[in-house]
Amino acid sequence: MVYTAPSRDDAPALLPSGDPLAHLPAPRSSQLLGRDDELAGLRNLLDGARIGHGGAVIVRGEPGIGKSALVDEAVESAQGVTLLRTMGVEAEHTWSWAGLSMLLHPLLHHVDKLPEAQAASLRKALGLAGETQSTPRLQVGLAVLNLFAEASAERPVCVVIDDAHWLDSDSTEALLFAARRLGTESVAMILVAREGFAPEFPAPGIPELVVGPLNTASAEKLLDRRSEDMSYSGRDWILRLASGNPLALLELPVGDHDDSLTVSSNSRFSTTSRIRQAFTERIMALDDATQTLLLVAAAEETGETAVIVEAAETMGASMEDLAPAERDGLVRFQGGRIEFVHPLIRSAAYHFAPRHRRIDAHRALSETFGGEDIRHARHLAAATTGKDEKAAAALESIASYESERGGCIAEMQALERAASFTPDPEARARRLVRAAQKAYSACLTEKAIALAGRAESLTKNRELLARTALIEATVLSWTGDPRAFDIWMRAADHYAAGGHENTGYPLLRGVWHAWETGDFAQIDYAARLAESYGGANNTWARRLARAAAGLNRRESSSPAESVDALRSLYDYYQPLHEDFTRFDAILSARWRLLAGEVRKAYETAAEQVRECRAKGATSPLVQALLVQGESQLIFGRYADATAAATSAVEILPEQGDQRALMQARIWILLPIAAVRGDEKRCREILSAAIEDAPADSTLPADMHLAILDLGLGRFEAAYERLRRLAYGDSPMFFIRQVPSLVEAAFRCGRTGEIADVVDWFADWAAATGQRHWEALVERCRGLMVAEDEAGAHFARAVELHRADDLDPFERARTSLLYGEWLRRSRRVSEARLHLRDAVEVFERLGARPWNARAQAELRAAGDSAGVESAPELADSLTPQELQVVRLAADGLTNRQIGEQLFISPRTVGYHLYNAYPKLGVSSRTELARIEF
**Contact between 647 and 618 (Cβ < 8 Å):** no
- How many whole angstroms separate alpha carbon 661 and alpha carbon 694? 10
- How many whole angstroms separate alpha carbon 751 and alpha carbon 761? 14
Query: 3-state DSSP call for residue 852?
Result: helix
229 CB contacts (<8 Å, ≥6 apart)?
none
848 CB contacts (<8 Å, ≥6 apart)?
676, 677, 842
Q: Euclidean distance between the first and final Cα of the chain, in Å?
A: 48
Q: Is the dihedral of CA 682, 593, 851, 779 positive or negative?
A: positive
- How many whole angstroms separate alpha carbon 281 and alpha carbon 274? 11
**Contact between 509 and 576 (Cβ < 8 Å):** no
Among 674, 629, 584, 527, CA closest to 882: 629
- How many whole angstroms separate alpha carbon 858 and alpha carbon 843? 14
Among 414, 295, 419, 422, CA closest to 364: 295
- How many whole angstroms separate alpha carbon 664 and alpha carbon 648? 7
Query: 3-state DSSP call for residue 571?
Result: helix
**Contact between 56 and 48 (Cβ < 8 Å):** no
- How many whole angstroms separate alpha carbon 428 and alpha carbon 454? 9
Query: 3-state DSSP call for residue 331?
Result: strand
- How many whole angstroms separate alpha carbon 263 and alpha carbon 408? 45
Which phi-psi region, left, alpha or beta, contains residue 24 (left: φ > 0; alpha: ψ -120 to 50)? beta
Q: Cβ of 917: how many Cβ atoms within 10 Å?
A: 10
What is the per-residue pLDDT for 696?
61
- How many whole angstroms separate alpha carbon 559 and alpha carbon 596? 11
Mean pLDDT by 10 residues, the chain (932 residues): 29 32 46 87 92 94 90 86 86 77 87 86 76 65 91 92 90 91 93 86 90 88 73 73 82 52 45 81 93 93 86 94 93 86 86 92 90 78 86 83 71 87 93 90 82 93 92 83 91 86 87 87 93 81 92 88 89 54 78 92 91 74 91 94 89 67 90 96 91 71 93 95 82 82 96 94 95 96 95 96 91 97 93 94 94 92 68 78 86 85 86 88 81 67
Among 565, 570, 577, 568, CA closest to 604: 570
What stretches of 457-597 show up as alpha helix (H) in DSSP? 462-478, 484-497, 504-517, 520-533, 539-550, 559-572, 581-594
What is the per-residue pLDDT for 572?
63
- SS3 sequence, 67-92? HHHHHHHHHHCCCCCEEEEEECCHHH
Among 58, 314, 7, CA closest to 210: 58
Cα separation values, 924 from 494, 892, 897, 912, Å: 58, 10, 13, 9
Query: 3-state DSSP call for residue 846?
Result: coil
Cα separation values, 375 from 104, 114, 379, Å: 22, 32, 6
- How many whole angstroms separate alpha carbon 722 and alpha carbon 740? 8
- How many whole angstroms separate alpha carbon 302 and alpha carbon 53? 35
Residue 36, exposed/middle/buried by CB under 10 A (0-12, 13-18, 19+)? Answer: exposed
C-alpha of 636 from chain center: 28
Cα 355–Cα 163–Cα 176 angle in degrees, nearest 5: 130
Strands (E), 646-745: none
Residue 304 DSSP class = B
Question: Domains (ranges, CATH) in the chain?
Answer: 2-210 (3.40.50.300), 216-260+267-276 (no CATH), 286-383 (no CATH), 385-460 (1.25.40), 874-927 (1.10.10.10)
Q: Cβ of 433: how many Cβ atoms within 10 Å?
A: 27
Cα R_g (the chain), whole angstroms: 33
What is the per-residue pLDDT for 91?
67
**Contact between 701 and 713 (Cβ < 8 Å):** no
The kind and range of the H/E element at 3 are strand 2-4
- How many whole angstroms separate alpha carbon 492 and alpha carbon 725? 32
What is the per-residue pLDDT for 15?
30
**Contact between 666 and 707 (Cβ < 8 Å):** no
814 CB contacts (<8 Å, ≥6 apart)?
775, 776, 779, 794, 797, 798, 801
- How many whole angstroms separate alpha carbon 659 and alpha carbon 496? 31
What stretches of 189-269 show up as alpha helix (H) in DSSP? 216-226, 232-242, 246-251
**Contact between 311 and 365 (Cβ < 8 Å):** yes
One-letter amino acid at 750 equals: R
Residue 58 DSSP class = E
Q: Cβ of 463: how many Cβ atoms within 10 Å?
A: 15
- How many whole angstroms separate alpha carbon 743 and alpha carbon 721? 13
Residue 8 DSSP class = P
**Contact between 912 and 884 (Cβ < 8 Å):** yes
One-letter amino acid at 87 equals: M
What is the per-residue pLDDT for 260?
38
Residue 667 DSSP class = I
Q: Strands 2-4 and 82-87, how do they pair?
A: antiparallel
Cα 645–Cα 651–Cα 657 angle in degrees, nearest 5: 90
Alpha-carbon dihedral angle through residues 401, 406, 409, 415, given to the nearest 10 degrees: 30
Q: Strands 55-61 and 187-194, how do they pair?
A: parallel
Alpha-carbon dihedral angle through residues 339, 344, 349, 353, given to the nearest 10 degrees: 150
